[in-house]
Homo-oligomer: A and B are copies of this chain.
């Protein structure tokens, strides 16, 4: 018996008809995220990376100089400044990035990709692309619909 279907059944049974689909959607998103993130992090474990640290490296690798201000990283990844500090601490200890002073603004510090960091992010991307991103269990058409709906929900919540 599926716990989520059961929860929705209970919601209907209590007469909460207006809220039942939304409850099921929220609970499903939480569960699917847990499963997807788990799968991704299992793959990344070989590289001693979490998804958060992987995303940070990925972003640096996409940038022109392989280097971005801490604040910019937080804005693009949509995480708190503290999380960036934490992640960069860890990545620096692993030798994947280094901290450098900003050339003109003494307040900001730059996180810069090392050769080792560029190497690991390329290898990790290849693995994720092949094992997880290539197939999330939906057809191509379904995936696009799924994305459209996710984007719509996101739009509502971000404004």
What is A's interface to B at a CB cutoff of 8 Å? 3-4, 7, 10, 16, 18-37, 39-40, 51, 55, 58, 62, 76-78, 125, 128-130, 132-138, 140, 142-147, 149-158
Contact = CB atoms under 8 A, between A and B. Distances in A.
A78 B146 contact: no
User: How many copies, total?
Assistant: 2
B29 A29 contact: yes
Contacts of A33: 29-30, 32-33
A16 B150 contact: no
B32 A29 contact: yes
Given A10-B62, A26-B136, A142-B152, 20 more contacts: A7-B58, A16-B133, A18-B134, A19-B133, A21-B143, A22-B134, A25-B150, A26-B133, A27-B55, A28-B147, A32-B33, A32-B153, A33-B33, A34-B78, A36-B157, A136-B156, A137-B153, A137-B157, A142-B149, A146-B149
